[in-house]
Structure 1
Amino acid sequence: MSKDDIHPLATGRGGCIASDRITIDGLPVRFMYRQQPHNPQDSGWAFLSGTEDDAYMNDAAKHDIYDVNTIANYDRSIIPFLDAPVGSVFEKVPGATDFVLITDWAPSRS
């Protein structure tokens, strides 16, 4: 996505982690979770396609830090959930149009 393609959809929300499966491969966001932010510029959000395994995510070259607004431009379906509290986890299963709250998952503490 070029800089000219980015519109102000979810501005002022800080940074997030997103995998290359979204930003490079063009897959939709199907898994998102919010951790405690590491600093004032961090939203705590991580956005994944749901196809990333541990080996993929352990490769730092396969994900990066982006402004939340940038990821909202890749997939607008995340926008209604951006005010969810720290600890929130949402998933959109293939074929579904809506995210659902997940209560039995937490990120690993590596």
Structure 2
Amino acid sequence: MTTTFITNAGAAIVSRKIVERTGNIKWLTREAPIAPQDTGWRVLSDRDTDEYLADPANMTVVDFNELCALEPACIGIYDLPVGSDIQLVVEPDGRRRWFDNKTEKEISFR
């Protein structure tokens, strides 16, 4: 059973490398949802290549709460708007920081 971090969160389209734990969450974009349960979040790993991503079978639908269970830092970005293009940076001390890929600035959730 998945822990509920966000009630009725919906789903995200996620790289299988994240689900299979052969890659870590790194790149996230939020597109217009394509179905009622779709959050619009698209999540790629630090190990994805263009060749890997060219095969749609390498992406899967995951409940957003499952994504948050894998990486709790995702809880904070859930409400970012459509058009968001962000990356997760994990510091050597384990601290997680989000950066906006368009502005190259850190995202603050305070």
Q: TM-score when scaled to structure 2?
A: 0.80
- Amino acid of the structure 1 residue aligned with 2:41: W
- How many aligned positions are there? 100
CA RMSD of aligned residues (A): 1.8
Gaps of 5+ in 2: 104-110
1:25-104 maps to which residues of 2 (within 5 A)? 25-93=21-89, 95=91, 97-103=96-102
Q: Which amino acid in 2 is paired with 1:103?
A: K
- Once the two structures are superposed, what CA deviation does each residue of 1:70-104 show, in whole Å capped at 9, x if it has no partner? 11111111110110000001112453621111117
Which position in structure 1 is the counterpart of 2:18? 22
Deviations 1:2-56 (A, max 9, x none): xx4x211123121111111111025331111100111211110011113212211
> What is the TM-score of this pair, normalised by structure 1?
0.80
Letter in 2 for 1:59: D
Aligned to 1:9: 5
Equivalent pair of 1:18/1:65 in contact (CA under 8 Å): yes
1:47 aligns to what SS in structure 2? strand
Q: Greater relative contact order (Cα 8 A, min sep 6): structure 1 or 2?
A: 1
Identity over aligned pairs, percent: 27
SS at match of 2:96: coil
Structure 1 segments, 4+ long, off by >6 Å, are none
**One-letter amino acid of the structure 1 residue matched with residue 46 of structure 2:** G
The separation in 1 between residues aligned to 2:64 and 2:49, in whole angstroms, is 22
Kindly indicate whether the alpha-carbon contact (under 8 Å) linking 1:11 and 1:68 is maintained by their aligned counterparts in 2.
Answer: no
